[in-house]
Amino acid sequence: MKITRISTLAVAPKFLFVKIETDEGIVGYGECLPDKAVIQAAAVQSFEHYLIGQDPTRIVHHWQAMVRGTFWRGGPSLGGGISGIELALWDILGKSLGVPVWQLLGGAVRDRIRVYYHCGGGTKEELVASAKALMDQGFTGLKFNPTGKQRVVEAPGTIERAVERVRAVRETVGNEVDVMLDFHGRVSPSMAVILEEEMRPYRPTFIEEPVLPENVPALTKLATQFKTPIATGERLFTRWGFREILESGAIGIIQPDPCVAGGVFETRQIAAMAETYYVGLAPHNPYGPLNLAACLHVAAASPNFFIQEIFDVTRLGGRAVKQPFEVVNGYIELPTRPGLGIDLDEEYCLANPMEPQVDHGRWFFEDDGSVADW
- Are 251 and 223 in contact by the 8 Å Cβ rule? The answer is yes
Distance CA(83)–CA(254), nearest Å, equals 18
Helix runs in 52-99, H state only: 59-68, 76-97
- In the residue annotation, 360 being an active-site residue is answered as no
- In the residue annotation, 61 being an active-site residue is answered as no
Count the Cβ atoms, other than its own, within 10 Å of residue 146.
23
Distance CA(41)–CA(172), nearest Å, equals 43
The one catalytic residue among 118, 184, 297, 360: 184
Distance CA(222)–CA(217), nearest Å, equals 9
The one catalytic residue among 49, 118, 284, 360: 284
Residues in contact with 348: Cβ distance below 8 Å, sequence separation at least 6, in sequence order: 319, 320
- Judged by phi (left if over 0) then psi (alpha if -120 to 50, else beta), residue 175 lies in alpha
Omega of the bond prior to 13 within 30 degrees of 0, cis?
A: yes
Count the Cβ atoms, other than its own, within 10 Å of residue 276.
9
Distance CA(230)–CA(52), nearest Å, equals 42
DSSP 322-359: SS----BTTEEEPP-SSBTS--B-HHHHHHSBPPGGGG
Q: Strand 364-365 vs strand 371-372: parallel, antiparallel, or unpaired?
A: antiparallel
Distance CA(341)–CA(28), nearest Å, equals 10
Count the Cβ atoms, other than its own, within 10 Å of residue 374.
13
DSSP 164-196: HHHHHHHHHH-SSSEEEEE-TT-S-HHHHHHHH
Q: Which residues are catalytic?
A: 184, 284
